[in-house]
Chains A and B, each alone.
Chain A
């Protein structure tokens, strides 16, 4: 059983461009979480999704950031018009239905904004 997969692993964007980060949860997992880790800091919760639903987006910046988890395909975290302060590692985690307490993390996408 493959773990949580994220791609790309590294992403470089210039200011003003769009960044699209993908997360494929573990097989059978229907809950997806996105976290952001700034350099030398812990992870900060961004958003929690189930298939086709956003459950909790209390950690998402109000502008430029959006997330989706469609019925088919990976979860996408989209950052429009990136700024240097968006440079961070973005981690996705997934958990199975009925066992939300166990979150398994992907390897992360390291975004660098030039």
Chain B
């Protein structure tokens, strides 16, 4: 089955760019997602990318997909303290569109 992996922790200074990385194993995954989870809250869909795309940009967010290496990244430009949260990478697998999540990357933004 699909396996999605992320690094556990990332610390950046306010104003810098953050890059959160993710790898997945199932090359047939059609859609790949980034979700944000703040403490005690649900998941907020940030963005997603279709597997035939290399890049998608949405305001401060840039998603890069290297399908050959099965590597996905999320870049947050001008990182703010409000961006502190856990970021989950997820891959859609199978015909039922269920999502397989990574363990999440905790982003800490320091002043």
Contact = CB atoms under 8 A, between A and B. Distances in A.
A105 B35 contact: yes
B104 A107 contact: no
B12 interface: no
Interface class of chain B by DSSP: strand
Contacts of A101: 30-31, 48, 92, 97
A100 interface: yes
B100 A45 contact: yes
B43 interface: yes
Interface string B33-53: 001000001111100100000
A104 B44 CA distance: 7
Contacts of B100: 45
Interface string B91-105: 010101111111110
Interface residues of A, number: 27
B69 to A, nearest CB: 21
A42 B42 contact: no
Contacts of B90: 43
Interface string A63-97: 00000000000000000000000000001010100
B24 interface: no
A45 to B, nearest CB: 4
A59 interface: yes
6 contacts: A42-B102, A43-B90, A48-B98, A55-B96, A102-B48, A107-B42
Interface of A: 4, 31, 33, 35, 40-45, 48, 55-56, 58-59, 91, 93, 95, 100-108
Given A91-B43, A103-B97, 17 more contacts: A33-B98, A33-B99, A35-B101, A41-B104, A42-B101, A42-B102, A42-B103, A43-B101, A45-B99, A48-B96, A55-B96, A56-B96, A59-B98, A105-B44, A106-B42, A108-B41, A108-B42
